[in-house]
Chain A
Amino acid sequence: MNFVNIILIPLVPLAVFLLLGIFNQKIKPSVSGYIGVAGLLVSTLLSLNTAYQYFFVNGKADGVYQTFVEKTVWMNFTDTLAIDMGVQIDPISVMMLLVVSIVSLMVHIYSRGYMKGDDGYTKFFAFLSLFSFSMYGLVLATNLFQIYIFWELVGVSSYLLIGYYYTKPSAVSAAKKAFIVTRFADLGFLIGILIMGFYTGTYDFETLNNPEGSAILNWASTSFMGLSVLTWALILIFIGGAGKSAMFPLHIWLPDAMEGPTPVSALIHAATMVVAGVFLVARLFPMFYFVEEGFALNIVAYVGAFSSLFAAIIAITQTDIKRVLAFSTMSQLGYMMLALGVSGYEGHEGLGYMASMFHLFTHAMFKALLFLCAGSVIHAVHSNYLKDMGGLRKYMPITNITFLIAALAIAGVPPFAGFFSKDEILVAAFEHNKLIYFVGVFVAGLTAFYMFRIYFGIFWGKDTKYEHKPHESPISMTFPLLFLALLSIIGGFIPFSEFVTADKAGFEAHLNYPLAAIAVGVGLIGIALAWIFYKKENDLANKMVNFFGPVYQWTSDKFYFDEIYLFITKKILFDRVSAPIAKFDKKYVDGTMVGIGNKTVLTSEKIKGMQSGKVQDYAFAFIAGVVIIALVFIYLWTD
C-alpha cells in the first residue's frame, strides 16, 4: 500500500482548514469556496485510488482482505503499553473513506450555492474542512485512543457547525445540547477504553480483534458483577457510540442539531458523523462477538431495534421536514445497529455485519440526498414546515425527481439502493432473532409511510400560494442532487458481500425472495397509505389525529424525553444538588477567602497613613521609638 497517498487524505482538508481559518478575512468568499472544494476533490481522488488499489489490486491474499497498518509510537507509558498514531487500511475503513469523500465533496459543492451571500462563508468552509479531516482521521485510526481523539474532534466540528448561526439562540442551545449529550456519552467511552487498556494491555484494534489473540481468548479471566470486565468495557464503549449515533436514550440532541445549516445536517447528522457509533461497533466487532458469547452485542441489537422503532414512530408526527429526516436518520442508524447485533462472524453467518455496512453506505447516499433536497426546498420557500409547502413539483422538477428517488430508496423499493441493504438486514435478523425481525419489518413500513408523507406534503398536496414564486436551485445545488440520486439508484448493485465482511473473506450473498417480497410489500403498503392520506388535500389525516388523540400528542412531543431530561437535570441535579453545593461554596469556601482579602484591605486602608513617604514622619517614629526604649531601659529595666 502507498501510505503517503493515504496519509494525505486527512491532511489536505486539514491544510485547507488552516488556510481558510487563518486567512479568514483576507480570502474572498468566491475563492474560499473553490479552495474548499478543491481540497476535498484531492482527498476524494486519493480515496478512490486507495479503494481501487485495495479492493482490486493488492488488498487480497489467499482470498482474504488483509489489514495494512502503518504506525508510529506516539506516547510511551510503559514497556508494554504505548499509544500509537497511524493509519489502518482494511475493508471498512476504505469503505468509510469512500462514503466520507463522496458525501463531503457533494456537500462542499452544494454549499457553494446554498450558503451564497452568507457572512461566514469562508468560516463555513473552514469548519467543513475541519470536519472532513476529523472524520478521515476517525476512520483511519489504528487504536482506541486515536479514534477517541478524532471522535472528540468530530464532536467539536459538529458543535461549531450546529451553532453556525450563532446569533440565533435556538442554534446556540442546540449546539450546546449536542456537545454536552455526546460528551456525556464519551465519558462512558473513555472509561471503556481505560478498562480495555488495563485488562488487555493494548489499544490496538489489530491485537484486540484477533480471534486467536489473548484479549479475546482470556475474556473470562477477570469478572465484575457477574460479567467479564471486557463486556463492561464494551458496553461502556457502546455508550459512547450510542451517544454519537443518537441511539435511545441519548438521541435527544439529533433533532435539535437540525438548527445548523442544511448541508451540515446532510454531511454530519445524516451521512458521516452519526454513523461513527456504528463504525465503532463494527471496528470492534470481533470483540463484541467473541467476548462473553456476544452479551454486549445483544445489547447493541436491542438498543438498535428499539431506537429504530421509537424514532420511526416519532417521525410520523413531526411537521418540520428536517426533523422528520433527523428521526429517520436515527431510525436507520438503529437498523444498522440491530444488523450488527444479529450478526455472526464467519462466512455467511456474518451477513448482518456486511448488511450493516452496506446499509451504512447506501443510507449515507440517499439520506444525504434527502437532506440536500430538503435544503433545496427550504432554500426556495424559506421555511422548514410542511404547512408552508405543497405543490412544489411544478416549480422544482429536479428536486422533485431526486427526492422521489431517495424516498423510494429509503422505503426499500427495488431496484433502488435501500432495497438491497435493507433486505440483507432483514434476512440476517430473520435468521437470528425473530422478534427483531418483526420490529425491522414494521419499521420498514413506517419508514415508507413517513417518508412519502413528507414527499407528498412537499411536492403534491395542497396548492400553496407563495409570496415569492419558488424556483429551481442553481446548478451548484442540483448537480450534487443528481449525482447522489445516481448513486442511490446504482448503489444497491455493488456486490458488497465480496468486499466488506466480518472475517474479511467475502461470500456470495443472494436475495431471499420471500423475505424481500414481505419487506417490499410492507413498504408499498406504507407508500399507499401515505398516498391516500396526503396525495390530495383531504381531512383523513386530521381524522386520524383526532382518533388517536393523546397518543398523537405524546408522539408529536417526542414522548416528552426532552422534558424528562430537563426535569432530571434542572429540577433534580441543578436545583437539589448543584444549587445547594454552589451556595455552600459561595457562602463558606469563597466567603472565608473573600473575608480574608477584605480584612487585609481594610487593615491596610487603616495603616496606610503611616507610610506617608515623608522623611520627617519616619524620623519622628524612629526617635520616639528610641526615646521609649531608652525610658524603658532607664526606669523599668531595673534588677
Chain B
Amino acid sequence: MIPEISIYEILTVTSILFFIGVYGFITRKNLISILISVELILNASVINFVVINKYLYPDMLQGVVFSLFIIAVAAAETALAVSIIIGLYRQISSVEVKDVETMKH
C-alpha cells in the first residue's frame, strides 16, 4: 500500500502497459518483439493481481501467489518460445513473421 497513490492510478498505468503489449503483439514483425509484447501483457496482469490483492483484500494472499505462478509460467513460456525461435533461425536464418508464414501450409 503506497500512500498518496490510489488504486485508480496504478490500474491506469497497468492498462496502458497492457495495451502497449497488445499493440506491440499485433503490429510487430519480429518474433522477439512479439515475445516481448506478450511479456508486457503478462506483466500488466501480474501487477493487476498484486495491486488488487493489496488494495482490496489486504489480509489475503491469493493474488500474490497467483502472480508467482504467472511469473513461473511466463519464464517457462519464454524459454520455450526463445528456443523455438533459435531453432527457426538455424533453419531459415530469419526471425521475421513473414518468413515463418509458410509453415502454415
Q: Which residues of A contact B (CB under 8 A)?
A: 613-614, 616, 619-620, 623
Question: In B22-62, which residues have CB < 8 Å from any A CB?
Answer: 22, 25-27, 34
- Dominant secondary structure at the B interface: helix
Q: Are A616 and B26 in contact (CB under 8 A)?
A: yes
Q: B101 contacts A613, CB within 8 Å?
A: yes
Give me the 6 closest cross-chain CB pairs, A-B, nearest first: A620-B26, A613-B104, A616-B26, A623-B22, A619-B26, A619-B25
A-B contact count (CB 8 A): 14
Q: Is B86 on the interface with A (CB-CB < 8 A)?
A: no
- Cα separation A619 to B27 with both chains bound (whole Å): 10
Contact between A616 and B25, CB atoms less than 8 A apart: yes
Which residues of A sit under 8 angstroms from B104, Cβ to Cβ?
A: 613
List the B side residues contacting A613 at CB < 8 Å: 101, 104
Nearest chain B residue, comparing its CB with the CB of A613: B104
Residues of A near B27 (CB, < 8 A) are 616
Can you list 12 contacts pairing A with B, beta carbon distance less than 8 Å?
Answer: A613-B101, A613-B104, A614-B97, A614-B101, A616-B25, A616-B26, A616-B34, A616-B97, A619-B26, A620-B26, A623-B22, A623-B26
Closest Cβ neighbor of A618 among chain B residues: B26
Question: In the complex, A614→B34 CA distance in Å?
Answer: 13
> How close is A52's CB to chain B, nearest CB, in angstroms?
78
Complex Cα gap A156–B61 (Å): 92
A614 to B104, CA, bound (A): 9
Beyond the given A613-B101, A616-B34, could you list 10 further A-B residue pairs with CB under 8 A, ordered by the A residue number? A613-B104, A614-B97, A614-B101, A616-B25, A616-B26, A616-B97, A619-B25, A619-B26, A620-B26, A623-B22
Measured CB to CB, the nearest residue on chain A to B103 is A613
Shortest beta-carbon distance from B104 to chain A in Å: 5
- Chain B 49-105 residues near chain A, CB threshold 8 A: 97, 101, 104
Q: How far is it, in angstroms, between the C-alpha of A623 and the C-alpha of B25 when the chains are bound?
A: 11
A residues near B22, Cβ cutoff 8 Å: 623
- A197 CB to closest chain B CB (Å) equals 62
- Interchain nearest-CB distance for A11 vs B (Å): 58
Q: Which residues of A contact B26 (CB under 8 A)?
A: 616, 619-620, 623
Which residue of chain B has the shortest Cβ distance to A612 in the bound complex? B101
CB-defined contacts of A620 to chain B, threshold 8 Å:
26
A613 to B25, CA, bound (A): 16
Q: Separation in Å of the B28 CB from the closest CB of chain A?
A: 8
Q: In the complex, what's the smallest C-beta–C-beta distance from A382 to chain B, in angstroms?
A: 66
A614 to chain B: closest CB distance in Å? 7
Q: Which residues of A contact B97 (CB under 8 A)?
A: 614, 616
Q: Which of B3-32 contact A (CB under 8 A)?
A: 22, 25-27
Residues in A with CB closer than 8 Å to B34 are 616
- Nearest A residue to B27 by beta-carbon distance? A616
Q: Which of B25, B26, B34 has the most CB of A within 10 A?
A: B26
Bound-state Cα–Cα, A6 to B6, Å: 110
A181 CB, nearest partner CB in chain B, Å:
58
A620 to B28, alpha carbons, bound, how many Å? 12
Kindly state the separation between the CA atoms of A159 and B91 in the bound complex, as whole angstroms. Answer: 66
A620 to B25, CA, bound (A): 9
In the docked arrangement, what's the CA distance between A614 and B27, Å?
Answer: 12
The minimal Cβ–Cβ distance linking B97 to chain A, given in whole angstroms, is 7
Query: Bound complex: CA of A238 vs CA of B20, how far in Å?
Result: 92
CA distance A619 to B25 in the complex (A): 8
Q: CB-nearest residue of chain A relative to B102? A: A613
A616 to chain B: which residues have CB within 8 Å?
Answer: 25-27, 34, 97
- Within the complex, the shortest CB–CB distance from B34 to chain A, in Å, comes to 8
Alpha-carbon gap, A614 to B100, bound state (A): 10
The distance from the CB of B99 to the nearest CB of chain A, in whole angstroms, is 12
Chain B contacts for A614, CB-based, 8 A: 97, 101
Q: Kindly report which residue of chain A lies nearest to residue B29, judged by CB atoms.
A: A616
Q: Across the interface, name the chain B residue whose C-beta is closest to A620.
A: B26
In the complex, A619 Cα to B104 Cα: how many Å? 16
